[in-house]
């Protein structure tokens, strides 16, 4: 059984669930890592360190900027010549697009957001969420190769063995890009919510501290965002102390309090950390579907009737501007930091 694992990265910054896909591939047999981009030697070497049996690298200036068309064509060509049974991807905006197109080329299909994958002879049965995760389906793909994008933290991550070496084979890029990348707006350091073991999230409630007086000359909206930033500073302090990432509800993102990269939920990231602390988040269904698989959920909300409490292991009815800093202090003391 030969599986391709597409290692997704953004300018060399690797999507960690690529390694979960690699671990899964190895459980079925031979795992061939596939790396595309420009100057991606390090990515290829890291794939060997995570246990890839072999790495195929298309290192080409035309692949420097991700474009779905060229990435899909390069993958389709490789699949046609190497004949893998299965191609695994982490689930990202990029992999959804390129897998979608490659499936058209290869006359096969893509199973997205897969949380379980069982081998069944030459075939595979995938479990994936439908209807916003309200229902799960088992699904099969009769085409070859079978393509699946896996959900982050649904499969164990293989060990990293620094310096482990192996065969890296250069392959050609294929296809013609139909678009040009004009540029990127400055983004903050990568927010890797999908991979985070601990997430502390803020919602619309982070802007609700009437006792804070914003600097003079701000209109109402600016004052709201300013207040929200004070709230998110508290959320961030706690996240940092616990070694976690900062998440947000869509209301916080739409309010301009924080960037979309932080959004948890149906239209943001679906996450499954060990600990999720929701601060000033009401618990709308679209938020819940993004985080209800967290092992331990803590909710801090002023409103005792907020639906988030029904999902939570621990709940505090109170003002996040008081509870969150107090929790940070208590944790500091107890963890000896």
**Positions that interact with ligand FAD (CB under 6 A):** 203-205, 208-209, 249-252, 263-268, 280-282, 284, 286-287, 290, 300-303, 306, 319-321
For residues 2 and 85, what is the distance between their CA atoms, to the nearest angstrom?
A: 6
Q: Which of 41, 42, 118, 137 binds other proteins (CB under 8 A)?
A: 137
Q: Which does 252 bind (CB under 5 to 8 A by kind): other proteins, ligand FAD, none?
A: ligand FAD
Q: Which of 103, 150, 154, 199 binds other proteins (CB under 8 A)?
A: 103
Please give the span between the terminal C-alpha atoms of the chain, in angstroms, as a whole number.
48
Least separation in angstroms between CB 319 and other proteins: 8
Report if residue 331 touches other proteins, rule: CB under 8 A. yes
- The answer to whether the beta carbons of residues 285 and 134 sit under 8 Å apart is no
Stretch that binds other proteins, among 18-26, 163-171, 200-208, 324-332 (CB under 8 A): 324-332
- The answer to whether the beta carbons of residues 72 and 87 sit under 8 Å apart is no
User: Burial letters for 234-248: b for 16+ Cβ neighbours within 10 Å, e otherwise?
Assistant: bbbbbbebbebbbbb
For residues 89 and 6, what is the distance between their CA atoms, to the nearest angstrom?
A: 5
Residue with Cβ nearer other proteins (58 or 300): 300
- The answer to whether the beta carbons of residues 67 and 74 sit under 8 Å apart is no
Binding residues among 53-92 for other proteins as defined by CB under 8 A: 68-69, 72, 92
Residue with Cβ nearer other proteins (26 or 177): 177
Q: Say how many residues touch other proteins, by CB under 8 A.
A: 93
CB atoms within 10 A of CB 330: 10
Q: Which does 282 bind (CB under 5 to 8 A by kind): ligand FAD, other proteins, none?
A: ligand FAD
For residues 98 and 84, what is the distance between their CA atoms, to the nearest angstrom?
A: 17
For residues 172 and 193, what is the distance between their CA atoms, to the nearest angstrom?
A: 33
The DSSP string of 22-84 is HHHHHHHSEEEEEEEESS-HHHHHHHHHTT-SEEEEEE-GGGSS--HHHHHHHHHHHHHHH--
Report if residue 302 touches other proteins, rule: CB under 8 A. no
To the nearest 10 degrees (0 to 180), the angle between helices 93-106 and 68-82 is 50
Q: Which does 130 bind (CB under 5 to 8 A by kind): ligand FAD, other proteins, none?
A: other proteins
Smallest CA-to-CA distance from 87 within 59, 106, 67 is with 106
Least separation in angstroms between CB 229 and ligand FAD: 14
Residue with Cβ nearer other proteins (48 or 294): 294
Stretch that binds other proteins, among 21-29, 82-90, 177-185, 216-224 (CB under 8 A): 177-185
Residue with Cβ nearer ligand FAD (140 or 212): 212
Residue with Cβ nearer other proteins (97 or 237): 97
Binding residues among 237-296 for other proteins as defined by CB under 8 A: 242-243, 250, 254, 259-261, 267, 269, 274-275, 285-286, 292, 295-296
Residue with Cβ nearer ligand FAD (126 or 306): 306
Report if residue 335 touches other proteins, rule: CB under 8 A. yes
CB atoms within 10 A of CB 167: 11
For residues 200 and 10, what is the distance between their CA atoms, to the nearest angstrom?
A: 24
Residue with Cβ nearer other proteins (168 or 196): 196
The owner of tokens 């959900």 is 151
């Amino acid at each position: 059984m030969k599986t391709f694992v597409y290692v997704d990265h953004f300018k060399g910054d690797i999507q960690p669930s690529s390694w979960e896909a690699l671990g899964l591939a190895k459980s079925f047999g031979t795992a061939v890592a596939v790396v595309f981009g420009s100057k991606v030697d390090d990515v290829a070497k890291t794939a060997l360190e995570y246990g890839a049996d072999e790495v195929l690298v298309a290192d080409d200036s035309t692949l420097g900027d991700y474009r779905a068309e060229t990435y899909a064509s390069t993958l389709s060509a490789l699949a046609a010549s190497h004949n893998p049974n299965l191609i695994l991807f982490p689930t990202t905006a990029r992999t959804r697009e390129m897998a979608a197109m490659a499936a058209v080329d290869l006359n096969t299909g893509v199973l997205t957001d897969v949380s379980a994958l069982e081998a069944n002879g030459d075939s595979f049965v995938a479990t994936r969420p439908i209807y916003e995760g309200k229902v799960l389906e088992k699904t099969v793909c009769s085409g070859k190769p079978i393509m699946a994008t896996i959900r982050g933290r649904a499969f164990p991550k293989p060990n990293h063995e620094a310096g482990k070496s192996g065969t890296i084979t250069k392959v050609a890029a294929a296809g013609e890009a139909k678009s040009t990348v004009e540029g990127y707006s400055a983004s903050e350091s990568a927010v890797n919510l999908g991979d985070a073991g601990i997430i502390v999230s803020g919602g619309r409630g982070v802007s609700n501290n009437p006792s804070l007086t914003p600097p003079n000359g701000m209109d109402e909206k600016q004052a709201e965002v300013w207040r929200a930033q004070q709230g998110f500073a508290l959320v961030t302090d706690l996240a940092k102390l616990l070694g976690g990432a900062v998440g947000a509800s869509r209301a916080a993102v739409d309010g301009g309090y924080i960037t979309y990269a932080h959004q948890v939920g149906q239209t943001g990231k679906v996450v499954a950390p060990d600990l999720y602390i929701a601060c000033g988040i009401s618990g709308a269904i679209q938020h819940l579907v993004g985080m209800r698989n967290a092992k331990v959920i803590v909710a801090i909300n002023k409103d005792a009737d907020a639906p988030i409490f029904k999902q939570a292991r621990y709940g505090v009815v109170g003002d996040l501007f008081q509870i969150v800093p107090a929790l940070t202090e208590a944790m500091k003391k107890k963890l000896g930091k």
